[in-house]
Amino acid sequence: MINPLRGMKDLTFDESARFVHIVTTAIGIAKRYGYSYIETPILEETALFKRSVGESSDIVGKEMYQFEDKGSNDVCMRPEGTAGVVRAFISSKLDRQEMKHKFYYYGPMFRYERPQKGRLRAFHQFGCESFGEGSVYEDFSIISMISQIFEALGIGFELQINSLGCTTCMPPYKQNLVGFLTNIKEQLCEDCNRRINTNPIRVLDCKNESCQTLLKTSPKLIDNLCSECDNDFTKLTTLLDKEGIPYTINTNLVRGLDYYNKAAFEFVSNDIGSQSAIAGGGRYDRLVEFLDGKPTPAVGFAIGIERIMELVKMPQSTREGIYLGAMSEEAVETLFSLATTKRKETKVTLEYASKGFKSHMKGAEKAGARYCALVGEDELKNGTVWVKDLESKEESAVLREHF
Ligand code: HAM
C-alpha cells in the first residue's frame, strides 16, 4: 500500500466539506471587497522565492521543495502564494496600468518543515493581494476583511500587529539593533548569532526563552519609526479601536518572510496548540519593484486552511435534492431521463439497482435527500412517479411530465 508522503494528507468527507465551506465563505467575502480570482502555477523558478521571500529566511534557506527539472532549470514548488501573484502581476504588465488590482487565490503550498500538529509539508492557503493602494486604509480594510471571514466561520482570534517601518526608519534601527545584539552575542543562541549578520530583526522572534528574556530591553522599532510610518500606524490603531477590532501590539512580530514593510500582522488562535498562527500578512511596497516591476504599493494576507479546519463551525446540514429509485427491473432505465431533467435544478442521487420500498427509503436517508422518488410497476403503467417529502412526510403521485 502506498501512503501519502510525510507531512501531507488527503482531505475527504468531513474535512473536504470543511475545506469547501472555508474557501466558499472566504471567496464570498473577498468578492464583496472587490477581489477577483487569480491562478498561478505551483512550480516557479527558484530565483523568484530567493528574491522575494529572502535567502536568509528559513523558508528559502531550509524548507524549499527545490529540484532541477528535465530541462536543467532550477525550480521550486511554491512555499507561499504572494511571490507567484506578484510575478504574474508583473508578467501581465499590470504594473504599467494606473489601476488598482485585487486578487484572491487558494491552493496548496509546500514547505519541507518538521511535521507536527498544525504544521504540514503540503498545506493550503486562502490569500488576497491588493496592488496599487498605498493608503493605510487598505491595511485596515484587509484586516477587517479577515475578521469578517473568521466571524462568518465562527472562529475566535487574537490579532497582533506591528510596524516594520520603511527605507527611512528601518536601516538606522537595524544598525542600532545590531549594536545591542553584538553586546549580548555570547548569551544568545546559535540561530540568533547567525541572524545578527544575515537578518538581525529575525532575532526578535527567536522562540528560545532565554533569548527572549535578554531581548526584553532591546530597542523597539515602534519607538523609532519615521513620522510617516508613525502616522500610518497611529491611523491604523485608531481605526481598529473605532471599529471595535481588538488587537495587541507585538513589537517582536517580524514575520518569517523578508518582503514586508510598514504594517505586519498575525491572527492567532489559542485553541489549536503551539502552531497558533491562523493567518498572516502585511504591506510589501517594494516587492513589485524588487522583481523588476514598476514600483507599486501592495498589501495582502494568507489564511492557513488546515489550521482552522477544526475550529470552523459548520452550518447545520439540511436535506437536499432527490433520491431516485426503481422497484422493478423494467423501471430502472426510465429513471435516466427523469434524473437528467431534475439535475438541471437540484442534486439527484440515482440508484441503479431495482430494490424494495424499505431499502430505497434507507438509501434516501443515507443520501440526505429531501425527496424520495420511486417508480414501480404501478407507476410505470400510470406514467407517474411516487414522491415523498422526507421533511413534511407528505406523499403524492406525480405525472412524469410534471415531475
Ligand atoms: P505565512 O505567515 O508564512 O505568510 O503563512 C500564512 C499562514 O499559512 C500561516 O499563518 C499559517 O496559518 C499557514 N501555514 C504556514 N505554514 C504552514 C504549515 N507548514 N502547515 C500548515 N499551515 C501553515 C505567507 O505565506 C504570506 N504569503 C502571506 C501574505 C500574503 N503576506 C502578504 N500577502
Q: Residue 265 is part of a domain; what is its CATH number?
A: 3.30.930.10
**How remote is the CA of residue 115 from the centroid of ligand 1, in Å?**
15
Distance separating alpha carbons of residues 280 and 266, to the nearest angstrom: 4
How many angstroms is it from 245 CA to the middle of ligand 1?
22
User: Which mutation among 109, 120, 274 tests ligand 1's pocket best, with the greatest number of atoms within 8 A of CB?
Assistant: 109
Regarding whether 345 and 298 lie in a shared domain, the answer is: no
DSSP state of 314: P
Domain-terminating residue out of 282, 308, 334: 308
- One pLDDT digit (tens) per residue for the chain, 403 residues: 999 999 999 999 999 999 999 999 999 999 999 999 999 999 999 999 999 999 989 999 999 999 999 999 999 999 999 999 999 999 999 999 989 999 999 999 999 999 999 999 999 999 999 999 999 999 999 999 999 999 999 999 999 999 999 999 999 999 999 999 999 999 999 999 999 989 999 999 898 999 999 999 999 999 999 999 999 999 999 999 999 999 999 999 999 999 999 999 999 999 999 999 999 999 999 999 999 999 999 999 999 999 999 999 999 989 999 999 999 999 999 999 999 999 999 999 999 999 999 999 999 999 999 999 999 999 999 999 999 999 999 999 999 999 9
> d(Cα 343, Cα 398) in Å, to the nearest integer?
17
Q: How many Cα atoms occupy the beta-carbon half-sphere of 126 within 13 Å?
A: 25
Instruction: Report pTM.
Output: 0.94
236 with 378, same domain: the answer is: no
383 and 292 within one domain: no
Whether residue 392 is found in the same domain as residue 290: no
The rounded Å distance from CA 363 to ligand 1 centre is 42
Q: Are residues 287 and 229 in the same domain?
A: yes
Cα three-residue angle 167-173-178, rounded to 5 degrees:
125
**Residue 338 sits in which domain range?**
322-402
Q: Are 385 and 373 in contact (CB under 8 A)?
A: yes
**CATH code (residue 339):** 3.40.50.800
Amino acid at 186: E
Cα(303) to centroid of ligand 1, in Å?
6
Residues with CB under 6 A from ligand 1: 80-82, 111, 113, 119-120, 123, 125, 127, 129, 256-257, 277-282, 284, 300-302, 304, 306-307
Residues 162 and 274 in one domain: yes
Mutate to test the pocket of ligand 1, among 78, 125, 267 (most ligand atoms within 8 A of CB): 125
> Do 24 and 125 have their domain in common?
yes
Residues 373 and 245 grouped into a single domain: no
Ligand 1 atom at minimal distance to the Cα of residue 279: 10
Flag whether 163 is in a domain.
yes
Compute the distance from residue 386 Cα to the ligand 1 centre, in Å: 52
Domain limit, last residue, from 308, 333, 364: 308
Residue 257 Cα to ligand 1 midpoint, Å, equals 10
The total number of structural domains that make up the chain: 2
State how far the Cα of 163 lies from the Cα of 255, in Å rounded to an integer.
11
Is the same domain home to 68 and 109? yes
Torsion over CA of 299, 302, 311 and 19, rounded to 10 degrees?
Answer: 130
CA of 281 to the centre of ligand 1 (A): 8
